[in-house]
Structures are given as structure tokens and as C-alpha cells.
Structure 1
Amino acid sequence: MNVRLALSLAAWLAMPAAHAAQAADRVVTAAIEGYVRPAYAEFEARSGELAGAVGQLCSAPSPAALDGVRREFGRTVSAWSRIELLHLGPVTEANRLERVLFWPDRKGTGLKQVQAALANEDPTAVDPATLAGKSVAMQGLGALEFVLFGPDAETLAATAGYRCAYAAAIAKNVAGIAEAIEEEWQRPGGYADKWSNPGEANPFFHDETEARNELLGVIVEGLEMVHDQRLGFLGETAGEDKPKQALFWRSGLTVENIAGGLAGLSRLFEASGIPDMLPTGQAWIAESIRFEFANAAHAADRADGPVDEALKDPARRNALSYLRIVTRSLSDLFGTKLAAELGLTAGFSSLDGD
């Protein structure tokens, strides 16, 4: 069910209208200017560097060039991780979210399509223009990870064949999508203006409460995605773990991706100024949120490295399990305690299904 948070207006009705409007504008604008736009600009820059590095690899294959591409892939994934949980605005249009990263691929459909393209040397997959019209599973970071880190990827260091051409097309495609998203966030009259300027004529946000709902809702839903999906490879026992179901397991970036997502939500929280909205007597809520985000960062540090190796180490596996506890605690702090203090009530998540 694609519903974020249902709002209760009781607290807002007790607030002077001018104060409510000023606070809503300040908070949403601060979130956009202080975090969202800079984060998407960073993703655009990193994806452009990645596309350039892949182009150089194809022009002059070598082990050093392949290592350089893999480093740029890691930097691009890191930049994406800090914004990928923000399911709002331009990234949700034109299938951009799925085109950048098709995941989870529960039935392995995407993997089979990428493998088929490599095996058959599909000519439409090496042209960014035609690749953009193909399955979303074939044109994003998940596909590129397989090309760069999957079986036979080491051949990229020796020859500029079909595999490299496909990698170049994917990288250019991702860079183009990143550029389009960043441009949309900057466009006058675009989503950013609509979100920060609610009103009766606004097709997205009719009042300030709906704008705030979007901000709180995206944080809560992001936390739920980490708990339910990103950490979904963890079993009840070590014997039930499924490391190959983890996102970015081939490149060893699983834990970095999780840590980046949580760090992004933390920075969004701080940039928005939400903590300043709380009265002095309720400042403990913001401090508790900061404490739990810090706990999450420490746990991710302890578990860092390839996920299959982390799961074999009891101490590192415990750190991953602790991340589940922390994300559930953060969901409660945001969706229950903070939401209630701001006059919100937690509703259904889009992860709940119908």
C-alpha cells in the first residue's frame, strides 16, 4: 500500500497559522538546500567520473585501469547510497529509481537478462540510447556491478571487447539519469518549489502539513527499507543467512551501502532543522535519534567488509544484527515519538503490501 503517513491536525490547529507556514517553509527548504540538492549533485559528479573511467578502460585496458573503474564504482555507489532511500521527487518519475538500481531482484530476472546480453553480445545493449529503452534491470548499478565484478570480469583488464562496451553504455546511462534528476531538483517551478511552497493550487502539497508529512514519511520509510530489505539477508541463525541475496555483495559494498543510507537519513534529519521544532522538554527525542544514528554508524564500522566474510565472523555478524535493532528503534523514534510530538500519526508503509 503506497501510503506514507496519515496526519493528525490537532497540534497544528493550536498553532498560529503564520507560525505554521513559516516553520513548514523553513524546514522543507532547509532539507532541500542543506541535503537533498547537494546529495544529488554529488551523485551526478561521481557517476560522471565513473563513466569517464570506464571509457578510459575501454580505450586502454589494463589491470590498473580496471582497478580504477572499480574504485569509481565504489564512490558512485557510496554517493547513491546516501540518497537512494529518499523515494520522492524526480527520481520517482520516468522509472529513474529502478533504472539506476533494480533491486531486489527476487526471481533473478535481471541477472538472467544481463547474462544473456553478455552471452549473445546484444548490440542494442552497448548503445546508451537503445539501452535506456530496454529492461530497467539491464541498465543500472546492479547490472554494472555484475559486469565489473562477476564471472570473467578480469578479462576487462586485457581486452576492450563487448563486455567493456556494455559497461560503458551502462555507466553513461546512469550518468545521464543522474544529470536529469539533478536538473529537475534545480528547475524553477519543479518539484523542489512545489514541496517547499504548499498551497491550494499546488498539485502535490495542499498545505504545510502535507509537506511535512513527505519529509517525515520518507525518513520512516527509508528506515523500514534498511530493516526489512537491505538487512534481509540475515537469518534468524547464522545457518540461515543468505549473503548472495545482499545488495552489492559481489563488489563487497553491502555494508557500506547500508551505512551510507543511514548516514543520509541522519544528515537529512539534521539539515532540515527538525530537532529545532521540538520544545525544550522534548529535546530528548532528537538526542535519542542522534544517539541511535551514532550507534548504527559504529555497528556498520565493526561489520565493514565483504558481507560473506562478515557473516562468518560472530562479532561482525552480531554488529549486523544490532543494525536491525537500531533501525527498528529509529523507526519508533521517528514514526511514533517524534511524529506524535509534531502532530503526526504513523500510517502504513509502502513496504507493507496491499
Structure 2
Amino acid sequence: MPKRSAFALALPLVLAAALPASAVVKASDVIQRAIDGFVRPAYARLHDHADSLTEAMHALCQSPSQEDLDAARAEFSATVDAWSVAEIIRFGPIAEENRLERMLFWPDRKSIGLKQVQAALANKDPAAANPVQLAGKSVAMQGLSALEFVLYGDGAETLAGKDDPYRCAYGAAIAGNVEAIAADVSDAWNKPGGFAALWANPGPQNALYRDGTEAVTELVGVLINELEMVRDVRLKGFLGASPGADKPKQAIYWRSQNTVRSLTGNLSGMDALFQASQLGDALSPDARWMAESAHIQFANGAEAAKAIRGPIDKALADPALRQKLDYFSLVTSSLTTLIGTRLTAEFGLSAGFSSLDGD
């Protein structure tokens, strides 16, 4: 069975008591809307972009040129955007078969994954250039972080010519692997009687979700845990308390200049999930303002991040852009308080648990 989120296991099961008598039915409706309105479309979009990325990589390998390299890089960025929206759902099918780590191995603080990718390129490992065999190798060698190095790391300029066909073949294999993972996850979310049915139909006989409280808690946990991840792991991993404490090369996707694009996608995905589920409708009338406030803050944070483009080290050195990163951090903290404290209290939940505490 898929691993349940730690947040969901930690909250007391009292949501049904806090909502109307039809809470279990309403919980099912909330979850079904989240699945149909966000999860399935997000993974379908990811699959579409991963397919286009694979095609672009094959085109580059067949006729290397700067134009085709630029096209492949553009598809990579589009796939990063799609993944950044979908990746907030870290349970269910994506948690099976190491798919989450295979899609994106990050952070790589000791550069273990980077060294494996560099070794494959240096040794021209034939297995790494085969999508089927690559899927059985180290998770660090087969996802978006590995493909980013192929497309943007040292030596990437050779992709525009015919001097290093192996590098392109390895990149195409990674793209094919990413596409296969995206397809498998999308299919799993659409499978009749699969994980989606378990989440949307809680009950005593359900091995994962015994009642509507557990099902909705999983949903709320996505928002709380992802806000914390975006702020404390992704953003503060490179944004220091002062410019001298910045670590731009610790930023996700720094080579491809997709750092802030990823942060924006994460926040936009949370907003889309919250809106699609219509969770705010379960609030009492005098607490509905929380839902509108959350939407406004999600939108404002994403809008501030969209203004940041180019290399992340240059953005950090620009006081105006750095201020936008600080604002992004403040928004996520405000949302954590709003959703993780006030909204959960309104539902009768206790959110004093973090999935990042090392449990």
C-alpha cells in the first residue's frame, strides 16, 4: 500500500464532529473534486509535456543544432513547470516504486547524484542511454536533475554539434524515463478501483482512509507540508538572512534558471488544489473569509515570484528582486498560519506536526 503522509497520521480524527452530519459524504465530495479538478489534470499535463520533451530530445539527437538544443531546453523548462505544479501530491502512485525520487533527486547536498551523472557521461555507460535499463539504475541518474545537467552543465554546448552523440542519447533516455513515470502515475490516478477510489471513498473497510476525517486530513496536509517544504527547504536552502549568507548553487534548477519557476509552480499548484477541492465551502459562514484570503495570498506570492527571471545569483544580488523573494517567504509563512493553525482549528484539527522533522 502507498505510504500515508506523516501529517495525516498525526492529526486527531475529529473533523467529522466539526462538520455537519453529512460530513463523510461532504468529505468524499471534497476529495473527488480535488482528484478530478486538480490531480488528474496536473498529471495529464505533466505527461503531455514529458512527451514533448522526449520528442525534442530525439529531434536534437537526430539533427544536432543550436536551434534544436534551444527547443529541447524550452521543453525541459515547460516540463519543470508542469512537474512543479503536480509534485505537491507526494502520496499515492508517485510514492510507489521510488517514482518521486526517480522523477527528481533533490537536494543532492553531497553531490552524490551529480557525480553519478558525470561518471555516466565520462564513461559513456551504454545502459544509461537505454530508457529501460536506466530505470533500474540509481534514482539520481534518471530524472529532471540529471537531465538538467545534461542540457545545461559542463560540456552541454556539445549537444549543438555532432562531437558527443552519447550525451544526447543519455539525455533522450532520461526524457523517456521521465515520460514513462509521468504516464504510469497519470494512468494510476485514472485506474478504476485504484488509489483515487480509496481516497475518495473512505470507510471502515478502506485500508488507507477509515473515514472522511482521514481523507480530508490528507488533503489539508498537502497544503501545510508543501508550504513548509517550499519555504524552509527550497527557498531558504539558497536565500540567506543576508546576501553574504546566500547559497545560489544550492538552489533547485539553478543551472537552467528555473529556480523561481519551480517555486511559482509549487505555490500555484497549492492554490489550484485548494480551489478545485472547494474545501472552503466546508467552513462555517463566518469563517469563509479564510478561503478567500488563502486564494489571494497564494496568487500574490506566485505573482511576486513571476517577476524574478534570469540567473538566481543575479536575482539575489538585486535588492528589488531579493525583496520579492523575502515577500514570497512572508506569504508562505502567513499561509502556514492561516491554513495550518486557523483553518485546521476551525475544522477541529490539531496541526502541531511537521513532515520535515525527521520522523
TM-score interval, normalised by the smaller of the two chains: over 0.9
Please identify, of 49-58 and 289-298, the stretch whose mean Cα deviation from structure 2 is larger: 289-298
Q: Which residue of 2 aligns with 1:117?
A: 120
Q: Is contact 1:39-1:83 (8 Å) kept?
A: yes
By how many angstroms is 1:192 displaced?
0.2
CA offset digits 1:16-72 (Å, max 9, x no partner): 54x112211110000000010000000001001100110011011111110100000
Structure 1 residue 258 and structure 2 residue 260: aligned? Answer: no
By how many angstroms is 1:9 displaced?
4.5
| C-alpha distance in structure 2 between counterparts of 1:185 and 1:268, whole Å | 15
| C-alpha distance in structure 1 between counterparts of 2:183 and 2:301, whole Å | 31
Structure 1 residue 270 and structure 2 residue 275: aligned? Answer: yes
| C-alpha distance in structure 2 between counterparts of 1:10 and 1:53, whole Å | 50
Structure 1 residue 103 and structure 2 residue 106: aligned? Answer: yes
Please identify, of 315-324 and 295-304, the stretch whose mean Cα deviation from structure 2 is larger: 295-304
| C-alpha distance in structure 1 between counterparts of 2:67 and 2:143, whole Å | 24
Q: Which residue of 2 aligns with 1:336?
A: 341
By how many angstroms is 1:228 displaced?
0.9
Q: Which residue of 2 aligns with 1:244?
A: 249
Return the letter of the residue paired with 2:210. H
Runs of 4+ in 1 over 2 A off after TM superposition: 5-17, 301-306
| C-alpha distance in structure 2 between counterparts of 1:10 and 1:229, whole Å | 30
- The number of equivalent residue pairs is 353
Change (3 A) 1:62 1:202: same
CA offset digits 1:194-248 (Å, max 9, x no partner): 0000111111101110000100001111101101111021111001100000000
Q: Which residue of 1 aligns with 2:195?
A: 191
Q: 2:328 aligns with which of 313, 323, 329?
A: 323
By how many angstroms is 1:347 displaced?
3.4
| C-alpha distance in structure 2 between counterparts of 1:335 and 1:150, whole Å | 39
Taking the TM superposition and a 5 Å limit, the aligned residue runs for 1:127-276 are 127-159=130-162, 161-231=165-235, 232-276=237-281
SS at match of 2:192: coil
| C-alpha distance in structure 2 between counterparts of 1:182 and 1:270, whole Å | 21
Q: Is contact 1:40-1:83 (8 Å) kept?
A: yes
Q: Is contact 1:2-1:349 (8 Å) kept?
A: no
Return the letter of the residue paired with 1:226. V
SS at match of 2:321: helix
Q: Is contact 1:81-1:258 (8 Å) kept?
A: yes
| C-alpha distance in structure 2 between counterparts of 1:283 and 1:20, whole Å | 17
TM-score by length of 2: 0.95
Unmatched 5+ residue regions in structure 1?
none
SS at match of 2:350: strand
TM-score by length of 1: 0.97
User: What's the % identity of the aligned pairs?
Assistant: 55
Q: Is contact 1:101-1:141 (8 Å) kept?
A: yes
Q: Is contact 1:3-1:347 (8 Å) kept?
A: no
CA offset digits 1:231-282 (Å, max 9, x no partner): 0211110011000000000000000100010000000000001111112211
Q: 1:24 aligns with which of 24, 27, 30?
A: 27
Unmatched 5+ residue regions in structure 2?
none
